[in-house]
Structure formats: structure tokens, C-alpha cells
Amino acid sequence: MTDEFSLIGKYFIYDDEGRLSVPNGDDCAVFGCPPGTETAVTTDSLVEGVHFFRDTSPGSLGIKAAEVNLSDLAAMGAEPFCIFLSLVLPSPDESFIIPFAEALRSDLSRRNAFLAGGNMSRGPLSITVTALGRLPLGTAVRRVGAAEGDIIAATGTLGAAALAVEDTMSGKVTVDRPSWEEARRRLERPEARIEEGIALRGLAHSMLDISDGISSDISHLLRCGLGAVINLEQLPFSPALSALPEERKIDLAVAGGGDYELLLTMSEESFREAIKIPVLQRTGLTQIGRITGSGKAEYLLRGVPREVPDGWNHFRH
């Protein structure tokens, strides 16, 4: 008889290489924290029909489940250590479980992390991951910390994941095949900017990952009367958007979400230093605006104010 315990034992318990004092499979995993370090912890859920489409492959879901949580660690400059997985399945379908578990394990191994425990139960498909990371004591980059005059910057490129969502939901693909495949890849297999986040530790004043779109996420960086000016023509648009009209590219890049790039603030001096770091040269680090004292976020297109859509909010969509 197939039950959750046999499935967990078969597919989700594996060697932690001595990193746990009490290993995966007991009531709790037990581990220590090396001297001079502290632990960052985050959790997030992926729900079918909200965070992924029904036709998303199990392998892609395994990767996305890991990466969207590791992205939160990246935003604090933490190095991944382990994750805990709560998997809710409609049925014990091994044609789903095997590729999901293999992709999850492979992705974690690539990040020098591992699965330390979790739970499995029956219900509508959803995947919840709690991720733990480590970083030197007192070095976490928080959302709070921006200063008036700071440069606002973003890693990588923006808008591809939002394009995939829009076109999938409309049933009409609006770009060529290579662009469409890149958009779906960015949506289904995001890449947490772990190395970039570590490189920005000590340089960024504040940082978070872009999960809900800049127009939503920027508000988390603006505290105590701070404001922002975003120069829309400076946004690092994904090449997948290259054939689209400028207006649509802007809306996708600002409000679409799902890019899991890093949005950060830093001094001009730190920005000049950051763009010389090899990993940030490879990924890209683009200045898109400034922190102001206006108390609000403003969006300019070649100096002219422009309205932008709100980013993602679970209880408004």
C-alpha cells in the first residue's frame, strides 16, 4: 500500500552529508549554527492556479519551489543551508512525485543545500517550502536602510515572467517562439540571485527580491517619509520583450512580478564598486532611479510622469 510515509522514505530522505545532528526522518531535524554566524529563515507557498499553471511540469515545480524561497535568502545576503518541504497532493502519483523530487534535489545540490524534513498530505496541489540560510553575524541586508540620495538598482532583466503569465491567460502568444520559450522558462524556473546577494552584502543599504513587481515591492523600501523616482526608460527589459510596444514593456517590467531579481538601494560610491564585481557584471546591475524625500514613488518616462499599474496582491487579484 502506498502511503505518505513510504513516499517520503523513498523519494525525500537522503544523505545530509553530516550537516544535521539529528537527520531527516525523525520528528525534528537538529543542527547547530557555527560561531560568528546567524540563521535567516523564510517560507512561501506555491498554489496551483495562483502561482503556477496546471500544465507546469513536475520538474519545473521542483525547481521553482526551491528557487522562490532561496530568492528571499539572496535578498538578505544569506547562503542557503537547507529547506523543509510541505507537499499537498491530490493523489500519490509517482509520475509527478519522481520528477518533482529529482529536480528539487538536483537544484538544492547545485546550491549546496539539502532537504532537512517536511510533511506530505492529501488535498489540492500546493507546495510550501521553509528555507534556512546562514550569514556572518550582523551582516543581513534588510528592507529598511535606504537613505535619501541612494541609487535604486535592479539585477538582471525584468518582465519575461509577466509576459508568460499574460499570454498564457489570454491564450494568445504575442512574441516569437524563442522569446516565448524564454518567458516561460523565467516564469517556471526562476533563478535566485544567491551569489549576487552575497556580493552585495556590505554594499547595499536595503534590498528585497522582486516577486510582486516593482510598483508593489518598492513600497517596502520606502519608510519614514522616503520616496522614489523610477526612470522607466532605464529599466533592464528582458530580451523576450524586445518586439513589444514600449508601453506594454513598461507595464510588464514594473507591475508583472515573478522575476525574482534583486531590487536594492546603495550609495553612488557603492554602486560604482558593485558594477565591477564579476558576478554582477555577468548578471547585470542597472540603475533605475533614486531615493528621494518626497514620501511617494514617482515614475517618469523621459522626464514626464506616467501612471503604472499596481503589482501583484493576493487579495486584489
Give tens-digit pLDDT for 19-74: 776 777 777 888 888 999 999 999 999 888 778 888 899 999 999 999 999 999 99
pLDDT over threshold 80, residue 225: yes
Amino acid at 107: D
Q: Report all structural domains of the chain as residue ranges with CATH numbers, in order of start.
A: 4-136 (3.30.1330.10), 151-305 (3.90.650.10)
Give tens-digit pLDDT for 229-241: 999 999 999 999 9
In whole angstroms, give the CA distance from residue 170 to residue 104. 30
Q: Is residue 314 very low, low, confident or very high in pLDDT (cuts 50, 70, 90)?
A: very low
Query: By C-alpha distance, which of 140, 91, 80, 92 is closest to 116?
Result: 80
Q: Is residue 111 very low, low, confident or very high in pLDDT (cuts 50, 70, 90)?
A: very high
Beta bridge partners of 2: none
Give tens-digit pLDDT for 177-200: 999 999 999 999 999 999 999 999
Give tens-digit pLDDT for 237-255: 999 999 999 999 999 999 9
